[in-house]
Amino acid sequence: MTGISWIPLLCVTVLVIGTIGLGFYVQRSVRSAADLYVASRSVSVPMNSAAISGEYLSAASFMGIAGMVMKFGYDVLWYPALYAAGYLFLLLFIASPLRRFGAYTIPDFAEGRFSSPLFRKIAVIFVLVIGFFYTMPQMKGAGVALVNILHTPYWVGVVLVGAVITFNVALGGMKGITFVQAFQYWVKMFAISLPIFILFSMVGGYQQHMSKIGNQGEAGKSIPQFKEDTTVSYKPQAPSNEIIFNAGATATFVNGAEVAVATAKPLPNGATVPAEKMIISGLPGQTTTRDIAGKKVTLYIFPPGSSFTVSDPVPAGSPGSDGKPKTVPVKLTVFPAAGKENVQIMYPKGEKVPNAPPDKKWLEPYGPFTSKYGHPLLYTYSLILAIICGTAGLPHILVRFYTNPDGRTAKRTAFWVLILLGCFYVFPPMWGALGRNLVPHLYAVTGGAFSTDSVVLTMPHILNGAMPYLGDLLSGITSAGAFAGFMTTFSGLLVSITGALAHDIYGNMINPQASPGQRLRAFRIAAVGGGVTAMILGTMVENFDINMMVGWAFAIAAASYFPMLIVSIWWRRTSFIGAATGMLGGGISALVAIVSVMLADKKVIPSLGAFYAANPVIRSLAEQPAIWAVPLALILIFVVSLLTPDAVPRDAGRKMLVLHAPEELALRDEYIKDGSNPAPAGTH
């Protein structure tokens, strides 16, 4: 793709300028730490419910769900359903008691509930870990969006959006971003809904496109095809350069390539199908050897303009139930030819799109997403647990309830958030379904800016042929919605991260006697430091799916903060040692498992990748750790608390009354009283 998309650029520019302008406007009224951290606890229910919804609807909601539905099918409908359902759990068990405690941050709650400054230090660690994990998919969304609009390098979008939001948070803190987030919820709602209705009116409705997917081909084996001759660029990093071709596929290397051909699964007699039989035409005689992921691999050198055809069929074992030979897809790993920066492959019109699942797998439960390691039920239940419990353990979401005047309004806010989220999540799956029929070429790249993650930005352009500039205008609207998505969520995350750095670390550990002016300055310095760190991390995750990264953040939150909060709010006998052990045990275990998967997928540790390939159950449990990490954390909290009764706060009964007594009894006593220091331990 070449050339700047001017109309989307204009829409995004207006949104960014408006965001900066609002930051300047609100900054004039920021006078205290209470303004920066909790917007002076004066946000109304309508404003806060829209602001929380805006903050929660991240790049994963606006771009990621549509992209994953297109990529994997209705197997991933768990994501939008659970993103909304998680708030029901939050509404019933956490929102109101948490607000009654009256802190600034979740580490405030941890220290106050257990009268332990040490617990604050433990809690701060996970605020930072969850926060930075959650910023990575937002930065990925920013990079993808700007690549589609300006065709700049991926990192440019990461830096640009990161700088704008860092500037806004440093200026206005929570008070500044509340108005922005509330407004941008409605921007996202408008941007996800209006274009899809216009697309329905011009290219056919949702039911019409679903009937095409369900009825094509023999026994649902149909695979999307290229609508026209299409040239796709591949970067040399995994997994973007891994391409799974279907039997009979033909393609041309425009600028040449060095290609590794995967060997098929062993046959019943133990033999394997060599590369020469997997590609039946165009396999060159010239080869080279390269060290890939710790192994010496033979690469076939394709000169510019050379073509190849995949064998049909490739036997992979005994015949299937239909009596026909089983076949395996052919995976090529492509690297740029000498002197080239990327690999360009031209696919002819009508060719089956590589990496696309067949209709049957796309439509069925336990499809290509959850069954990719052979244990779909295990993977699904772990995903359910991660998102439901993770929603109730996200520090940047929980802290927003401290901006409500009291616990009653916090509960009403959570109820309306459920309504607003439910309205939004109707639409992203529709984008994914239409994308399979209308822009199937996005399957061809498994990672990067022009993969399925960009479907909501790319698909409107197809209308330009029928009505000039209409597609660009709709793409501009969705681009503005995407920018609103990762800008609002990144704003909330950065306030949470900054609060941990400035309030919990600086204001309570390093300099408890800091003046209000010093605290304001510390907040702004921490905002810049947190923003820069998020930008650096964002440049490293271009090839990971947005929703996958969000799921990882949820899994860490589910295994660390959720067990601590739910037990300490509802069980008086929770001890400091028990809560700390459960948070550390569950959170660190989940973090280590997820990081190991990231390192394996990026081929940083080749032996780890080989280990996971040989042990699919362990791979499933590492990629989705909530199913074992959440019970581990809960068991540790209960068992250790029972073994350490002396570590239960002496005033635990009083604190439980504060958490649960109705406001009419006037027992609520703000933990943070003056915007500078917590109440002394034991006096809450």
- What is the rounded average pLDDT of the residues 485-509? 82
Token readout for 604 is 């940083």
Q: Please give the residue that has the higher pLDDT: either 407 or 368.
A: 368
pLDDT of residue 508: 79
pLDDT of residue 192: 95
Q: Please give the residue that has the higher pLDDT: either 22 or 193.
A: 193
pLDDT of residue 675: 47
- What is the rounded average pLDDT of the residues 195-203? 93
Give the C-alpha separation, 539 to 153, whole Å.
10
Give the C-alpha separation, 64 to 191, whole Å.
15
Give the C-alpha separation, 325 to 59, whole Å.
43
Element (H, E) at 302: strand 295-302
Look at residues 542, 334, 556 and name the one whose alpha carbon lies nearest to residue 447: 542
Q: Please state, for a pLDDT cut of 90, what percent of the chain lies above it.
A: 27
Q: How many other C-beta atoms lie within 10 A of the C-beta of residue 328?
A: 18
Is residue 468 reached through a cis peptide bond, with omega within 30 degrees of 0 on the bond before it?
no
Name the DSSP class of 625. T
pLDDT of residue 535: 93
Q: In the structure, what pLDDT confidence band is assigned to residue 265 with cuts at 50, 70 and 90?
A: low
Length of the chain: 684
Token readout for 88 is 């029901």
Token readout for 104 is 């600034």
Mean confidence (pLDDT) of the chain? 82
Q: How many other C-beta atoms lie within 10 A of the C-beta of residue 212?
A: 15
Question: Which of 108-112, 237-241, 541-545, 604-608 has the lowest average pLDDT?
Answer: 237-241
CA distances (Å), origin 458, targets 72, 145, 195, 442, 473: 18, 10, 12, 9, 12
What's 343-378 look like in SS3? EEEEECCCCECCCCCCHHHHHCCCCCCCCCCCCHHH
State pLDDT tens for residues 331-370: 888 899 888 888 999 999 989 899 888 888 898 888 888 8
| Alpha helix segments (H runs only) across 500-545 | 516-538
Residue 684 has pLDDT above 50, yes or no: no
Residues contacting 556, CB < 8 A, separation 6+: 126, 129, 130, 133, 390, 587, 590, 591, 594
Please give the domain boundaries of the chain with CATH numbers for all domains. Answer: 6-201+366-665 (1.20.1730.10), 227-352 (no CATH)
Residue 157 has pLDDT above 90, yes or no: no
Token readout for 662 is 């109705």
Q: In the structure, what pLDDT confidence band is assigned to residue 207 with cuts at 50, 70 and 90?
A: confident
CA distances (Å), origin 649, targets 25, 644, 657, 679: 44, 11, 14, 15
Token readout for 116 is 């332990």
Token readout for 293 is 């992921």
Q: Distance from first CA to last CA of the chain, Å, rounded? A: 61
pLDDT of residue 668: 58
